[in-house]
Amino acid sequence: MNEITLLDREFSVYLTEDEIQSRVTALAEKISEDLKGQDVLFFGILNGVFLFAADIIRQISLNAHISFIKLASYDGTSSTGKIKELIGWNEDITGKTVVVLEDIVDTGSTLERVIGELKLRKAADIKICTLLFKPEAYTKDIPIDYIGFEIPNSFVVGYGLDYDGYGRNLKAIYKLTK
Ligand code: 5GP
| Interval 24-43: pLDDT, tens | 999 999 999 999 999 999 99
CA distance readout (Å), 132 to 15, 96, 148:
11, 25, 6
Tell me which residue range forms the domain holding 62. Answer: 17-74+82-146
Residue whose CA lies nearest to ligand 1 atom number 17: 155
CA distance 79 to 129: 20
CA distance 13 to 84: 30
Whether residue 49 has its Cβ less than 6 Å from ligand 1? no
- Helical H segments across the chain, by residue range: 17-34, 50-57, 109-120
CA distance 104 to 49: 8
Distance 81 CA to ligand 1 centre (A): 10
Asked, for residue 154, whether it belongs to a domain, the answer is: no
CA distance 21 to 18: 5
Whether residue 156 has its Cβ less than 6 Å from ligand 1? yes
Asked, for residue 151, whether it belongs to a domain, the answer is: no
Asked, for residue 63, whether it belongs to a domain, the answer is: yes
Asked, for residue 160, whether it belongs to a domain, the answer is: no
Inter-residue contact 127 to 97 (CB < 8 Å): yes
Inter-residue contact 139 to 131 (CB < 8 Å): no
Asked, for residue 1, whether it belongs to a domain, the answer is: no
Return the higher-pLDDT residue of 82 and 148.
148
Whether residue 107 has its Cβ less than 6 Å from ligand 1? yes
Helices 17-34 and 50-57: angle between axes, nearest 10 degrees: 60
This prediction has a pTM of 0.93
Q: How many CA atoms lie within 13 A of 107 on its CB side?
A: 11
Exposure string (b/e) for 91-106, b if CB count within 10 Å is 16 or more?
A: bebeebbbbbbbbbbb
pLDDT-based confidence at residue 72 (cuts at 50, 70, 90): low
Reduced 3-state DSSP string for 49-98: CHHHHHHHHCCCCCEEEEEEEEECCEECCEECCCCCCEECCCCCCCCCEE
Asked, for residue 155, whether it belongs to a domain, the answer is: no
pLDDT of 164: 95
Distance 68 CA to ligand 1 centre (A): 17
> Where residue 103 sits, what CATH number does that domain have?
3.40.50.2020
pLDDT of 173: 98
pLDDT of 91: 83
State yes or no: is 106 an active-site residue: yes
Tell me which of 18, 39, 103, 106 is the catalytic residue.
106
Structural domain count of the chain: 1
Asked, for residue 168, whether it belongs to a domain, the answer is: no
Asked, for residue 55, whether it belongs to a domain, the answer is: yes
pLDDT of 144: 98
